[in-house]
Amino acid sequence: MNLINSFCCHRLLMAALLLFIFPPVLFSQSYGDSLYVPPIKVTSDNGFGPYVLGSRRTNLFIVTDLPTKTSKIVMKMIDSRDVQINNGYTETGTNLEAAVWSFESDTMGFPLSPQLYIEIDYQSDSVAIYKIPYTVYPDTANIVASSGFGPFITNDYTFADTSYHPVPATTNNFSIKHIPPRSDTIVFEVMTVDSAIVQSFTVTAAPGKYLDSARFSNVRMDLLPLDTRYLHVAVHCQGGPDGGVEFHKDLLTIPQRPKLTTVTDSLIFHDSVGSFVQNQVTGQALSIDSAKGALIQNGPGQRDLDNHLRVIYPGPYSLDLLQSSFSIESWMQFNLSVNNPALRAMTLMRVDSAWQWYIEVSSDNVYLAITSLVDTLAYDLWTVNISRQLLLGSQWHHLAFTCFYDNLGNYPTGKFYLDGLPLPNVQFNSSDYDYISSYLDWRQYLGTQPLQLGGEGIYDNSLVTAMDEVRIWAKTLSDEEILKNFQKSPLQDYLNIIQ
């Protein structure tokens, strides 16, 4: 058996199998311009509609009972003006007995009134043409949610704080309207990112009736898992795909914001942290002064004590000031208007064995510094002076510092920002940089202490009264990124945070 005959036999066997799975339909309506149009059988695994534009659907057409001596068969989709839609299918041979054509409807680009066009060449001089209507519905389905599609604060995750307070119950009602005609079943499914079904609900029409809408009521959004990702709706209509006409709407769940407390020797001092400006929408702002601050503990890090015991200290926020790119930013409120001694200073944030960002205020100027704390000494690496007038008043200010290191042995470049704009005349102390990099093992101090926000003021003054949106980046933010972050509110809502 030659290659051509082998291929033809394979096609015939496949067609026979498909005919067994999908029984054929004899079309007595035949169309053509020949005197005699022979009847043929056409089978479709998904019928001839309805198909809803944009939904996933595989079409497989099988044509059998071809006239004797069929030499060519053409199958394609055409619009109401007989113009071909996308790609078609052509098969040629000496005596064809069957033909199979498959395509994906959602990539076909259907108009509203297409037809299946079949053209058969047989007995060397005869042509038969068949046109079979194919029903297409526009995508008019509308899915709405009474409480929106998120983000929703959820309690469905492991609690690590025994004093944790659950968020209020949040219910949602999902509705779908303007569904395809002849719909009898609608399935709602809340699914995770891995397509696991969390909750489901099925609406079924009464016998002999059809649905025009459906509703999934009282869905508890605060009980959904964190990996919830979308609402899946499958509308089953007569002639539609087996899995139904499918629709997806993204759902987003997020955890409740953490509550910050400070712990010392098994005692919890709530007042040592200060008060919070807190609610479920706008988040938290930490109130601080020269005596009150916060330690952010999240490990790991190691340190030897005097008794030679090695303990774990939380210090993941340590930065290599000498040989890495990084960025630090935060919203802050200042109190520079009170009459205090001429020179005042206060820590903004620090990892006390690695780096520190602090502020000094004189009668006219404000001095900002990024300092290395290795070798028990403080080395000011980057500094800048600005006018005290820029920070007067009670409004929030956005402060940032960025550092770029090129890994080529050049000095890193540091930039300070105030309210989204870079500050001029930043000074870099190359002598201190050379001394640390040449004579001190500065890397041993990284990752050994927690991040400290506020506290440790000189003369017990409160230069900074509140901090919010503290961010530490392991990259150099651009001028445009700093400006974009400044243009967001210091107390952002959840929609801003997830963008």
* CATH, residue 119: 2.60.40.1930
Burial 34-70 (b: 16+ CB within 10 A, else e): eeebbebbbbbebbbbbbbbebebebebbbbebbeeb
pLDDT of 318-332, one tens digit each? Answer: 778 888 898 999 888
Give the model's confidence band at 80: pLDDT under 50 very low, under 70 low, under 90 confident, else very high. confident
Q: Are 378 and 456 spatial neighbours (Cβ–Cβ below 8 Å)? A: no
Question: Do residue 239 and residue 218 come from a single domain?
Answer: yes
Residue 376 has pLDDT above 90, yes or no: no
Q: What is the pLDDT, as a whole number, of residue 411?
A: 93
Residue 194 has pLDDT above 70, yes or no: yes
Q: What is the pLDDT, as a whole number, of residue 163?
A: 52
The domain containing residue 377 runs over which residues?
Answer: 263-498
Kindly report whether the peptide bond that precedes residue 300 is cis, defined as omega within 30 degrees of 0: yes
Question: Do residue 160 and residue 226 come from a single domain?
Answer: yes
Residue 314 has pLDDT above 60, yes or no: no
Residue 346 has pLDDT above 70, yes or no: yes
* Segment 21-48 mean pLDDT: 64
Residue 3 has pLDDT above 70, yes or no: no
Which of 255, 288, 321 corresponds to the end of one domain? 255
Report the relative pairing of strands 115-122 and 126-133 from DSSP bridges: antiparallel
Residue 10 has pLDDT above 60, yes or no: no
Question: Do residue 323 and residue 339 come from a single domain?
Answer: yes
Which CATH number belongs to the domain containing residue 177 in this structure?
Answer: 2.60.40.2550
Residue 481 has pLDDT above 80, yes or no: yes
Question: Do residue 73 and residue 113 come from a single domain?
Answer: yes
The CA-CA-CA angle for residues 454, 455, 459, to 5°, reads: 130
| 418 Cβ contact list (under 8 Å, min separation 6) | 386, 390, 397, 398, 399
Q: Dig out the tokens for 105 from the structure.
A: 């409807």
Q: Are 210 and 223 spatial neighbours (Cβ–Cβ below 8 Å)? A: no
Question: Do residue 337 and residue 430 come from a single domain?
Answer: yes
Write out the DSSP string of 154-220. Answer: E-BS----TT--PPPP-EEEEEEESPPTTEEEEEEEEEETT--EEEEEEEEPPTT--BSEEEEEEEE
Which CATH number belongs to the domain containing residue 393 in this structure?
Answer: 2.60.120.200
Which stretches of 351-475 are DSSP H helices? 430-439
Question: Do residue 113 and residue 160 come from a single domain?
Answer: no
Q: Note the pTM of the prediction, 2 decimals.
A: 0.43
- The count of domains in the chain is 3
Which of 137, 163, 195 corresponds to the end of one domain? 137
Q: What is the pLDDT, as a whole number, of residue 261?
A: 53
Question: Do residue 457 and residue 336 come from a single domain?
Answer: yes
| 222 Cβ contact list (under 8 Å, min separation 6) | 152, 153, 154, 155, 156, 166, 167, 168, 169, 170
Residue 495 has pLDDT above 80, yes or no: no
Q: Give how far Cα 461 sits from Cα of 331, 339, 370, 378, Å.
A: 19, 10, 20, 21
Between 180 and 457, the higher pLDDT residue: 180
Q: Which of 168-172, 229-233, 389-393 has the lowest mean pLDDT?
A: 389-393
Residue 461 has pLDDT above 80, yes or no: no
Q: Are 336 and 463 spatial neighbours (Cβ–Cβ below 8 Å)? A: yes
pLDDT of 262-281, one tens digit each? Answer: 554 444 444 333 333 444 34
* Segment 115-144 mean pLDDT: 90
Which of 118, 137, 156 corresponds to the end of one domain? 137
Give the model's confidence band at 42: pLDDT under 50 very low, under 70 low, under 90 confident, else very high. very high
Between 173 and 25, the higher pLDDT residue: 173
Cα 493 to Cα 399: distance, rounded to the nearest angstrom: 20
pLDDT of 150-163, one tens digit each? Answer: 888 888 776 555 55
Residue 394 has pLDDT above 80, yes or no: no
Question: Do residue 489 and residue 386 come from a single domain?
Answer: yes
Question: Do residue 353 and residue 482 come from a single domain?
Answer: yes
Q: What is the pLDDT, as a whole number, of residue 309?
A: 56
Question: Do residue 447 and residue 413 come from a single domain?
Answer: yes
Q: What is the pLDDT, as a whole number, of residue 421?
A: 94
Between 285 and 85, the higher pLDDT residue: 85
Q: What is the pLDDT, as a whole number, of residue 489?
A: 60
Question: Do residue 201 and residue 127 come from a single domain?
Answer: no
Q: What is the pLDDT, as a whole number, of residue 158?
A: 67
Q: What is the pLDDT, as a whole number, of residue 319?
A: 77
Cα 360 to Cα 343: distance, rounded to the nearest angstrom: 7
Residue 87 has pLDDT above 90, yes or no: yes
Q: Are 300 and 316 spatial neighbours (Cβ–Cβ below 8 Å)? A: yes
Q: Work out the mean pLDDT of the chain and round it to a whole number.
A: 78
Q: Give how far Cα 394 sits from Cα of 292, 334, 336, 411, 457, Å.
A: 19, 7, 9, 37, 19
Q: What is the pLDDT, as a whole number, of residue 73?
A: 97
Question: Do residue 244 and residue 268 come from a single domain?
Answer: no
Between 390 and 33, the higher pLDDT residue: 390
